Structures are given as structure tokens and as C-alpha cells.
Structure 1
């Protein structure tokens, strides 16, 4: 189960890195993993990659002020 989630999170990183080529790939990865940290310890893991992608996409889509 954890390997499946890890695989899905890696796919999120790749997808967002392609969607936001102006952002350094390591920055995209950091944003995704920061979003994932919000869900540590949650017992139900099925939708975590979806939530992580939404959070990270929102941060990447909003220009820094």
C-alpha cells in the first residue's frame, strides 16, 4: 500500500513538473512533499495523492508575491 502511494506521489511530481516547466523540478518536488506532510498519520490513505496534487497545484499556480 505504501509503495503504491509513493508511486502515485512520484507521478504527481512528474505531472506538475511538466505542467510548470518554469519552476525548478526540485522545487516542485519539495512543494509536493510539503503538501504530503499534512497527511502524515492519517489512517485512510486512498485519496492522499489526489489531495496532495490539488494543494501543490494551487501553490504552483499562484505566483509568489
Structure 2
């Protein structure tokens, strides 16, 4: 059985890094929260190939349109 956890963790870390670069005025905690929420949103996806892309897009959208 292959454990994909370390790979998934590194991909999520890369997403956080890219979003921190794109949104330098956003607190790191807000970026991490947006990524966590997006990750939870796609947690039950059957096909995982494109989930990191969807997580990044969802988190980016959350950061671009924050809830007041």
C-alpha cells in the first residue's frame, strides 16, 4: 500500500507558498485557512488528480473575495 500523505502535504505547502506570494498583504493565517477550507471542500473527491488545482483556485477565490 502506497502512502500519498507526504506528497499531498508538500503539494499543499507549495499552494500556500504561491498564495503567500500572490497575496503579500494577507496574513499567513488567512491564507492557510482558505487553503484548509478548500481542501475540506474537495476531501471526498473520487478522482484526486486535479484536486490540488481545484484547492488552489478555491483558496484564491476566497482570498480575492473575503467575507466582511
Query: In the alignment, is residue 44 of structure 1 matched against residue 34 of structure 2?
Result: no
Q: Distance in 2 between matches of 1:2 and 1:42?
A: 16
Greater Rg by CA: 2
What TM-score comes out, normalization by structure 1 length?
0.85
The size of the alignment, in residue pairs, is: 65
The one of the two structures with greater contact order (alpha-carbon pairs below 8 A, sep at least 6) is 1
Q: Which residues of structure 2 form unaligned runs of 5+?
A: none
Aligned to 2:10: 7
Deviations 1:18-60 (A, max 9, x none): 1101110011001001000011132321111100000111111
Aligned to 2:60: 57
Q: Which residues of structure 1 form unaligned runs of 5+?
A: none
Runs of 4+ with >2 A deviation: 62-65
User: RMSD in angstroms over aligned alpha carbons?
Assistant: 1.4
Indicate the SS of the match to 1:21.
Answer: coil
